[in-house]
Amino acid sequence: MKSTLIDRLVEQNKEKPLILGHRGLRKESVPENTIIAFEEALERGASGIEIDVESTLDEKLVVVNRWYLKSQFGIFPWEKSLKTIQDMSKKNGYEVPTFSECCEFIKRNENVIFNVEIKSSDFCICRTARKAVNIIRHYGIDDQVIISSFDINTLLTTRFFHRTIETAYLFRSVDRVVNLEDRKKWSYKANSWVNRTGIKGFLIGVDTLHPEISLFPDNSSEREKLWMKVARWKGKRVNTWTVDTEKELSKAMLAGVRIIISDSVKTGS
């Protein structure tokens, strides 16, 4: 992988991790995953932003978190068209942006890291990832981008259509599901255990690991996780989410994390 803006920013800031605004800002006065939230995060000193990308019913790329949309309007992104989703959000005083609009924003901010978490997936080629890569190329912001996902197929699609863009495997302590009944299945439990090891990311050769902060040791006396040892051996960067307290920040720094994703963009300031 070529040296990117991300590599250079990490190298220049060795004392503290770089902070990316989780969905711009969350749980504050401005709606998350909006241009306003992104602008506010950068004004507060964030080094970049993290966004969620989904495909709508009419196969447009929209920037919204599926669970947020479900809680606000009772729908998932893939159930409605882009226009319907935007019309619904306008009634609440804001507009859900398209992925292209977010890329335009990043294009205007040349020294900003852009973490694109792709949520949607498909059985074979992930259409959301393929479209996202094409849009990123169109705006010429490849150098600033990390494509992250919990889904291996999404990351493989990204790597197939863009050999040099940075990819990151997301994994967490408890996997989320759209249908709660799925958690009772043996396959869910087994897959969740495998995911927590980070092994899928290593097997497909992602550039970076994005484990949840709860998966890190709490202190220096606690045994180091196997995925941490393998990441160091392979020379892979480890970023983490979501870091919002001094204790979580200490855990991240103890593990040598260079980029953190934060809800409030106040941690470590």
Q: Is the peptide bond before 242 cis (omega within 30 degrees of 0)?
A: yes
Q: Is residue 186 part of a domain?
A: no
Give the whole-number percent of the chain exceeding pLDDT 70.
Answer: 94
Q: What is the pLDDT, as a whole number, of residue 152?
A: 93
Q: Is residue 104 part of a domain?
A: yes
Q: What is the pLDDT, as a whole number, of residue 190?
A: 82
Rounded alpha-carbon distances, angstroms, from residue 257 to 73, 188, 192, 237, 243 = 36, 29, 23, 8, 11
**How many other C-beta atoms can be found within 10 angstroms of the C-beta atom of residue 93?**
7
Q: What is the pLDDT, as a whole number, of residue 28?
A: 79
Q: What is the pLDDT, as a whole number, of residue 188?
A: 63
178 pLDDT more than 70 = no
Residue 151's domain comprises 5-170+238-262
CB of 152 closer than 8 Å to CB of 160: no
pTM of the model: 0.93
Q: What is the pLDDT, as a whole number, of residue 149?
A: 97
Q: Is residue 70 part of a domain?
A: yes
Q: Is residue 175 part of a domain?
A: no
pLDDT tens per residue, range 16-44: 899 999 999 997 789 999 999 999 999 99
- CATH number of the domain within which 140 lies: 3.20.20.190
Q: What is the pLDDT, as a whole number, of residue 233?
A: 95
Q: Is residue 226 part of a domain?
A: no
175 pLDDT more than 80 = no
Residues 6+ apart with CB under 8 A from 102: 35, 38, 51, 63, 114
Tally of domains in the chain: 1
Q: Is residue 200 part of a domain?
A: no
Considering only residues 190 and 233, tell me which one the structure prediction assigns the higher pLDDT: 233
Q: Is residue 227 part of a domain?
A: no
Q: Is residue 199 part of a domain?
A: no
pLDDT tens per residue, range 94-124: 999 999 999 999 999 999 999 999 998 888 8
133 pLDDT more than 60 = yes
Rounded to 5 degrees, what are φ and ψ at 71? -70, -30
